[in-house]
Structures are given as structure tokens and as C-alpha cells.
Amino acid sequence: EARADFDWMADLPAQAAQAAIKDLDLAYDNWWNPDHPAGPPTFEKRSSKLRFSLPGQAVDVRHIDRKWSEVWIPKLGWQRFRRHRPFNGVVRNATFTFTPGSGWMVSFGIAAKQITAPPNGKPATGVDFGVACSAFLSDEEMTATLTPGEKRRLVGLERRKARQLTWAKRHNNGRYSNRLRHTNSEIARLRAKQARRRNDFTHKLTTDVAKNHGIVGIEDLRVKNMTASAKGTVEAPGTSVAAKAGLNRGILDNAPFERRRQFAYKGPKFGTQIVSVPAPNTSRRCAKCKALDPANRPGCGREFACVACGHQDHADRNAAVNIRAAAEQIYAAQTAGPADNSTGRRKPSQSRKAEGGSVKRVAPVGSSISDSAGRVESRVA
């Protein structure tokens, strides 16, 4: 009987189960390594998102034409997918993911040669990541994700889902109706569109900034502390929990860690120096006279008005200019003498430092590709 319970595993390619065990073993090794920041392995939440990985030896890729290719999957044969970029390297692994609203996607880990270009000598810039403005450079503004109409539709769908869940619990013993399933699929479709736009915007932003600037200053944000919940405990409940949850969603929607990770490997490729700048007071310091006063930010708006010199500007642009100035000072100090911990934070281990910049780069769990290798993601037809 025990053997019959695992007969379904015979339908899977053997390499998929081996890759899962390999990832689990690597997760425990990272947890037991005192120099690695990983915590204890945790089980993933059961959801409608499916994923499995195969090593490069188990898959094969052949090109059909300029846009389409085929990938060989054990026990499934050739499957066609839409190729959106060339394979400039050796395929080390392939990950197949099913997401509601997007269908099956395949991403390839490519072992590419590390490219380090000399300093390009282009002007510096500072990038301020926020919520009201997704990314504000010292000379331009960029926005992303859902449009106002799509945001209103998402809120309406969430409210409809809450009403349908209440009805199901009261009158249908908690069983989902077809209308509730349809609502969930519509929400998943909007969330998938939001994720695709976020990923596309992040890649375009980091590539454009790294390609057109010589020094890029980014804030050294503690995202985990910034997005901590405010609900508190039963004995000491928090206040404004719903407002803090909305703020956390806005911060995470901008993917600050992913932007920083992409800057870390794209900077050396284009000869750009990525400098981490301490985040405190960048939005309250005047970019013109350098006066620091909390009264420079009246109210909760996006206007900056210096009480010392009268300088007025958009708050995010003023912060971006301060970040750029601080990045230039830190980079000048690093090139003039031995590197020091300018941010005041604990220095990372030498094995986890990013080459060509001061930003840490953490390799994904289970990845066997080099840091310069990107993942080529395509939709499986």
C-alpha cells in the first residue's frame, strides 16, 4: 500500500525530483553555514502555482525561427516557447513555472562569461525609490505597475471576493461557488499582469540607468524592517494596522531588493559604479544649502520647501539630488584611499561582495550559474 501511494512519482522525470532534493540539501547547507544569511528551511505554501526544475543535461533547445524555439522535456517531448532574447552561453538548468493568469513559463539559467568594463566616465545620478513615485532619478521620474483604472478594478474584485466568501461560509458550508472561482481567476490575472509589468519595468530601469551613468547612488534600505507588520501582540495590539499594511504593499511593489540585485551585476557590465548611500535624512536635507530640518517637509505631500534658504522642489527629486551628491563623495573617498565601511553597517564577507561595486549580490538558492548570467524567461506555448 505504501508503494502504491508513491506511484505518481513515476510520472515525473527523475531529474525533477533530484533537483528538488538538491535544492533542499543546499538550503540546509546555507542554514548551517555561519557566514551565510539564510535562515532555517521552511515549507512553501500550497497554492495553484506549480514549479519544477531540470538540469541542463536533461533538456535540449532548438530554434525554429527568429521568435520561436522548442525545448525537450523528458516524458513530454518537444514543447514550443516564445524566445525573446538570444542564448549567449551554455544552458545549465531550466525551470518551468505555472502561474494563474500567465500559464506555463520556462526560464533558463545561462552560464555567461563575466564582463567587466572600464569606468565609462559618464555623469552620476541618484535614484530615490518611493511609493508615490516608483523611481525618481535626479533628472527624471519613472512609474510602473497598474494603471489607476486597473487599481480600482482590483479593489472592486477584492471587495466582491470578500462578500462571496462571507456568503459561502454562511449559506454554502464554506464551499466555493463558480462565481467566486471566477472572481479569484480575475484577481490572479490582474496580479500576474502587475508582476509582469513590475519585472519589465525593473529590468528597463536598471539597464537604462546603468548604461547612461558612470556613478549610480542608491539608498541602503533595510526593507525587512521597513515592511514589518504593525499588528503587535494580543497584550499590546498595534495601531493603524491597515494603513501600515497598505504602505508595506506599496514598498514591496517597487521590488527594492530586486532592483539592487540587478544594479549589482549590470553595473560592472557597463562600467558603472554602484554606490550604496545611507538612507536617513535624504528626503529632509536641502539639496541646495544642505540644511537639515524636519520642517522642510510640510505635511505628507510631495513638496519640499527649505526653511533656511527658501528652496522649493519636488521632494523625491530633492532626495535624488542628495543621494547623487553623497554617492559622489563616497566614491571619491573609496578611490582616494583604502575602502572603508562608509554606510556604518557591518561589512559583508569577502565571498559575498559584488565585483566592481559596493552592493552585495546573493545568488538564488539552487542556482549553478555565474553572477553575470541572467535568466532567459519565455512563455511556453
Three-class SS state of 271:
coil
In the block, residue with C-alpha cell 480600482: 152
Of the candidates 70, 219, 220, 328, the residue annotated as catalytic is 219
Three-class SS state of 185:
helix
Beta strand pairing call for 68-73 and 135-137: unpaired
Sign of the dihedral through C-alpha 72, 73, 75, 81: negative
233, β-bridge pairs: none
Amino acid at 272: T
Active-site residue, 65 included: no
Comparing CA positions, the residue from 41, 82, 44, 40 lying closest to residue 61 is: 82
Comparing CA positions, the residue from 280, 269, 176, 162 lying closest to residue 220 is: 280
Of the candidates 70, 220, 316, 328, the residue annotated as catalytic is 316
Is-contact 333 227, C-beta < 8 A?
no
CA dihedral (167, 233, 256, 32) in degrees, to 10, reads -110
Cell numbers representing residue 380 in the block: 511556453
Of the candidates 1, 29, 65, 128, the residue annotated as catalytic is 128
Active-site residue, 158 included: no
Pinpoint the alpha helices (H) of 213-227: 223-226
Distance CA 71, CA 85 (A): 15
Amino acid at 8: W
Active-site residue, 316 included: yes
DSSP letters of 111-140? E-----PPP--PPEEEEEE-SSSSEEESS-
DSSP letters of 41-109? --PPPP-S-EEEEEEGGG-EEEE-SSSEEEEEETTTEEEEEE--S---SEEEEEEEEEETTTEEEEEEE
Three-class SS state of 380:
strand
Q: In what order do the strands lie in the sheet with 50-55?
A: 50-55, 90-99, 103-111, 375-380, 77-82, 68-73, 60-63
Catalytic residues: 128, 219, 316
